[in-house]
């Protein structure tokens, strides 16, 4: 067994896997579904991020340049 380190783990749980997944055994239909779901999540993330940046740029007063620089990276 191998411990997997998760980036976001608010409960501090330890996660273990047994071996390394073999992606070649995933049926084509399942793989396409997984890729479509990932594509949707990436698109939604990009849209939300773009909207946040636009809101920050359109805000009245001084633009928070430090925050904008962090978000644009």
Domain presence at residue 20: no
Q: What percent of the chain has pLDDT over 70?
A: 79
In a domain, 53, yes or no: yes
In contact, 38 and 53? CB cutoff 8 Å: no
What pLDDT, on the 0 to 100 scale, is given for residue 19?
A: 82
In this prediction, residues 25-54 reach a mean pLDDT of 90
Mean of all residue pLDDT scores within the chain: 81
Q: Is residue 29 in a domain?
A: yes
pLDDT over threshold 70, residue 27? yes
pLDDT of residue 66: 56
* Contacting residues for 3 by C-beta, under 8 A, at least 6 apart: 14, 15, 16
> For the chain, how many structural domains are there in total?
1
pTM for the complete prediction? 0.47
Residue 10 within any structural domain of the chain: no
pLDDT score, position 61: 52
């Amino acid at each position: 067994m191998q411990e997997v380190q998760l980036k976001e783990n608010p409960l501090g749980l330890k996660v273990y896997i047994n071996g390394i997944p073999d992606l070649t055994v995933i049926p084509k239909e399942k793989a396409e579904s997984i890729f479509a779901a990932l594509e949707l999540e990436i698109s939604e993330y990009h849209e939300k991020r773009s909207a946040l940046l636009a809101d920050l740029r359109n805000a009245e007063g001084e633009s928070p340049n430090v925050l904008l620089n962090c978000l644009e990276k």
